[in-house]
Amino acid sequence: MQQPVHVEGHFTGSAWVRDVVIGMSDGLTVPFALAAGMTGAVAESALPHPHHIILAAGLAEIAAGSIAMGLGGYLAARGEAEHYASERRREQWEVKEKPGAEIAETEEILEGYGLTDTEVKPIVAALQRRPEQWVDWMMRFELGLEKPEAGRARASALTIAASYIAGGIIPLAPYAFTRLPITTALLVSVAVTAAALAVFGAIKGRVSQTGAGRSAWQTLLIGGLAAAAAFVLARAIPAGK
């Protein structure tokens, strides 16, 4: 009798997915909050082209934010790679120069998983015959470090920056592509951004298996609070005469 195939349902999201989440989350939220705040600040002013002012400020923020976020992702990924390389060199030295201490650490780790001394000995002996694989094993199980992907820093920077730009365009679209009064444009921006935040949050929750509905509401709440705070603060500060 043929056995049914078991399919693992665990989340195996890649670093690329995490970068998209980082970039898109901030890209949707920060320009949205800025547009709301700018609208609150100029809504009752006599400025001739308030749409252009809000749009210019929003685009400037997207440019600055995408560069800052991209560089942050690049430096973080480079830092991880450098840390991994440094720790691996140290581990290689310890395996070569202090094998006794490494054997004891390996045995302790394996025993922590419930293996007996009889079961541990042949595993340690096998690892001793494979020094590089032993180092790889210690990097993962002693230090909890995974080898970074090649080119990870550049890919992370580009992915975060592009995701930030894609997210930031959404709340600014009503100001750029319509001739609505700015307060009406804000309402349209609220609607389209809220929908984007909810959809993005649901997708994020589904991919990470934390619950699409829960993640959608959390993402929507964070973006809404940021925009509301910016709008209220801008309206509370008297405009210059």
Q: What ranges do the domains of the chain cover? A: 15-88+149-233
169 Cβ contact partners less than 8 Å away, ≥ 6 residues apart: 62
Rounded CA-CA distance 220/196 in Å is: 9
pLDDT of residue 6: 41
pLDDT of residue 12: 45
pLDDT of residue 8: 46
Could you tell me the two tokens for 127?
């690892």
pLDDT of residue 46: 60
Rounded CA-CA distance 151/146 in Å is: 15
Rounded CA-CA distance 90/185 in Å is: 58
**Spans of the chain below 70 pLDDT:** 1-14, 43-48, 207-209, 227, 230-231, 234-235, 237-241
Could you tell me the two tokens for 50?
């308030």
pLDDT of residue 66: 92
Residue identified by tokens 């995701």 is 163
What is the DSSP code (8-state) at residue 196? H
**Cα end-to-end distance, the chain, whole Å:** 85
Torsion of CA 65, 70, 71, 72, to 10 degrees: 90
Number of Cβ atoms within 10 Å of the Cβ of 118: 7
- Helix, strand, coil share of the chain (percent; to 5): 80, 0, 20
pLDDT of residue 71: 93
Nearest CA to 132 among 151, 110, 147, 122? 147
pLDDT of residue 241: 46
